[in-house]
Structure 1
Amino acid sequence: MGYARQVYTQAENELNRRRTTAQDTAQRRLENFYAVCPEAEDVRRRIASTASRAAMAVLRSGNARETMEALKNENLSLQKQFADLLAAHGLTRADIEPQYTCKRCEDTGYVDGRICSCYRSLLKQIAYENLNRISPLTLSSFEDFSLLYYSDVSVNGERSDREQMRNIYDFCRRYADNFKKDSGNLFFTGATGLGKTHLSLAIAAEAINKGFGVVYGTAQTFALSLERERFTRTEESGGDTLDLLNDCDLLIIDDLGMEISSSYITATIYNVIDTRITLKKPTIISTNLSMQELEKRYNERFTSRIIGFYDRLIFRGKDIRMKKKLNPQNKQN
């Protein structure tokens, strides 16, 4: 996956911060140890001198082997003495050495000249965070979703809006509790203000808590990013939105059908949905449009993919946003 130069810069800065913090912390602990045990500093200095003396012995040749053996034994003796001093003060060598976040690369980002897995993970995390920065991923939860705003009146023998929404709530809760990388796809449809965004964000929060990479945004936000990157292909401008939409563990597209329409955006959204179906990566889509309106806006092939590969959840009721303003006390389900 390619990333904007800004993402690499942020990742490198974070790795440098981690490395510097680990080294500075270790240095402070070592200095504190020397303050209470001056003998240890002298021993450490003598250990360092054995290395320089060994180098000199090699350069001078002569009885280098015997000299090297003597220096090795001296070094081992000094190392043991230093360890004993640490133990006498309740410390181990690990206490005065840098504790890097990644033991493999020691927070450099590279192992044997190759990019470390921690660097790859950091790049992906930063890219997700940048894309999600303006989204309200932490603003909704299952706990603050109230069913009291939905009517419990049954009409013509059909289930009430509240019963319908309770079933949807329970379904979404189970989906979030059991979420994994190959969970199914969800399609939320219904009028505006019925809780589609709330429940999709609640699922997102649970997935993030489990450690999954989640990308959330409105179709309009994604469309703007994709259009911008289409015409501005530079390292600074980015170009990774499409990769992130295809690659993330969970993609949430809110307000599908409300984006500015163009042949490029329509084709790209379809390709993202189709790619994720092929890769068995879960996607949640919400829209205010009916299936007929979606087919008219996109095409029959688009709606066919939705019908065939998504669980469709129909939200019912009247716009609850005004009800919340009028009766904010309804906090419980």
Structure 2
Amino acid sequence: MGYGKRIYEEACAELARRKTRAEQTAEMGLQNFYRQCPRAREIREEMAVNSARAAKTVISGGDVRRELEKLKATGLALKAEFSALLSQNGFTEREITPQYICEKCRDTGFQDGRMCSCLKALQRQMAYEKLCMDVPLSESTFDSFSLEYYKEDERTYPQMSNILRVCKEYAGKFRADSSNLFFKGGTGLGKTHLSLAIANAAVQKGYGVIYGSAQTFAVALEKERFDRTDLDGTGDTNSQLIACDLLILDDLGMEFPSAYVNAALYNVIDTRMLAKRPTIISTNLTLKELEKRYGERFVSRITGNYGMLEFIGSDIRRQKRMQRKNKKQL
């Protein structure tokens, strides 16, 4: 899952904190029990010695079965005495045993050498929260996308209805090797809303999503071009843009023009295409304007490898402002 190195490390650190808290709490409970009942500590020490004897018996050979049966009986008797003392002194097993949030991996994040579902879920949660810090992800859903703003003419409504249908189907079937989408059209027509609705669905499925405007990425790329202080690579924007499961590049063409940024964006788009990692690009520019800005090869890559969706209609933001203004006047 392409959540990035930073998300993975933060999730592992959180699991480590959970594990430490559970074990420290249990140890505190156990020490309280020992202070109240010194015999309990003695029993635990005897149980440890008994287990060690069992291990030595297996190694030494001889009449192993008989000796192991004696040691097993001793161990069961000690365990029963310990449990009885626990109850008599008002303690429970839960109070002296680590209560891990994930019992499968005991909050280590791995089970039988494989990543546990708890670590996957935690990465998904952190990725979602990080995305929500920058964009209103919870508000940008397919249910909140209204077609009422497109009913101005006979051409706009069916066009936008079809785009909504295509985006819903794309989100519903989204996979790590899904196709690319290219949203073009004027401002305020729903391009960002629908791209975030797709992002929402992808994150819920457990995929790592990176969303941002071309301007945001351009600033980061330019900064890291000259800033080599981040030696561990956790802030390497270029690597994260290439490696994530789904990249959403919003407002292409609105970034400050730079030959370096143009080349870097082309490299990201081209590398992701060759690796069959899906990308969604939105822009207010026409294809001719994009060609003038980035060159024929850049536009050829997009037109030949992206599903083109043209957004039409009147600026929804302007329509909403007019509606609010009219309500105030009433």
Structure 2 gaps, min length 5: 326-330
Write the letter of the residue equivalent to 2:291: E
Match of 2:273 in 1: 277
Structure 1 gaps, min length 5: 155-159
Match of 1:176 in 2: 171
Offset from partner CA, 1:99-124 (integer Å, 9 cap, x none): 253744x4456899x9x746985679
CA change 1:46–1:314 in 2 (3 A) is same
Write the letter of the residue equivalent to 1:17: R
Which has the higher mean CA deviation after the structures are superposed, 120-129 or 290-299? 120-129
CA change 1:30–1:22 in 2 (3 A) is same
Tell me, yes or no, if the aligned pair for 2:247 and 2:279 is still in contact at 8 Å.
Answer: yes
Distance in structure 2 (CA, Å) of the matches to 1:180 and 1:304 = 25
Match of 1:201 in 2: 196
Alpha-carbon deviation of 1:214? 0.9
Alpha-carbon deviation of 1:257? 0.8
Match of 1:190 in 2: 185
Match of 1:157 in 2: none
Alpha-carbon deviation of 1:146? 1.3
1:215 is paired with a residue of what secondary structure?
Answer: strand
RMSD over aligned Cα atoms: 4.3
Distance in structure 1 (CA, Å) of the matches to 2:39 and 2:209 = 53
CA change 1:95–1:142 in 2 (3 A) is farther
Match of 2:328 in 1: none
CA change 1:49–1:182 in 2 (3 A) is same
Query: Where do residues 237-248 of structure 1 align in structure 2 (5 Å cutoff)?
Result: 238-248=234-244
Tell me, yes or no, if the aligned pair for 2:30 and 2:95 is still in contact at 8 Å.
Answer: no
Query: Where do residues 236-315 of structure 1 align in structure 2 (5 Å cutoff)?
Result: 238-315=234-311
Match of 1:19 in 2: 19
Tell me, yes or no, if the aligned pair for 1:101 and 1:107 is still in contact at 8 Å.
Answer: yes
Alpha-carbon deviation of 1:308? 1.1
Alpha-carbon deviation of 1:293? 0.8
1:230 maps to which of 214, 221, 225: 225
Alpha-carbon deviation of 1:324? 1.1
Tell me, yes or no, if the aligned pair for 1:216 and 1:252 is still in contact at 8 Å.
Answer: yes
Q: Percent of aligned positions with the same letter in both sequences?
A: 47
Query: Where do residues 121-132 of structure 1 align in structure 2 (5 Å cutoff)?
Result: none
Alpha-carbon deviation of 1:84? 8.5
Write the letter of the residue equivalent to 1:323: Q
Query: Where do residues 31-50 of structure 1 align in structure 2 (5 Å cutoff)?
Result: 42=39, 45-50=42-47
Tell me, yes or no, if the aligned pair for 1:3 and 1:240 is still in contact at 8 Å.
Answer: no
Distance in structure 2 (CA, Å) of the matches to 1:102 and 1:297 = 55
Write the letter of the residue equivalent to 2:293: R
Tell me, yes or no, if the aligned pair for 2:189 and 2:315 is still in contact at 8 Å.
Answer: yes
CA change 1:188–1:172 in 2 (3 A) is same
Kindly tell me the number of residue pairs found equivalent between the two proteins: 310
1:266 is paired with a residue of what secondary structure?
Answer: helix
Query: Where do residues 52-63 of structure 1 align in structure 2 (5 Å cutoff)?
Result: 52=49
Tell me, yes or no, if the aligned pair for 2:179 and 2:278 is still in contact at 8 Å.
Answer: yes
CA change 1:299–1:180 in 2 (3 A) is same
Tell me, yes or no, if the aligned pair for 1:44 and 1:82 is still in contact at 8 Å.
Answer: no
Match of 2:48 in 1: 51
Distance in structure 2 (CA, Å) of the matches to 1:328 and 1:150 = 18
Distance in structure 2 (CA, Å) of the matches to 1:237 and 1:256 = 25
Query: Where do residues 104-143 of structure 1 align in structure 2 (5 Å cutoff)?
Result: 104=105, 106-108=106-108, 117=115, 133-143=133-143
Q: TM-score, normalised by structure 1?
A: 0.75
Which has the higher mean CA deviation after the structures are superposed, 258-267 or 185-194? 258-267
Which has the higher mean CA deviation after the structures are superposed, 276-285 or 144-153? 144-153
Offset from partner CA, 1:55-91 (integer Å, 9 cap, x none): 79x9xxxx9x99x96656422432356578999x9x8
2:22 is paired with a residue of what secondary structure?
Answer: helix
Match of 2:207 in 1: 212
Alpha-carbon deviation of 1:129? 5.7
Alpha-carbon deviation of 1:282? 1.1
Distance in structure 2 (CA, Å) of the matches to 1:212 and 1:3 = 11
Distance in structure 1 (CA, Å) of the matches to 2:183 and 2:289 = 14
CA change 1:9–1:184 in 2 (3 A) is closer
Distance in structure 2 (CA, Å) of the matches to 1:7 and 1:52 = 44
2:252 is paired with a residue of what secondary structure?
Answer: coil
Offset from partner CA, 1:34-67 (integer Å, 9 cap, x none): 69xx99x8556413334257779x9xxxx9x99x
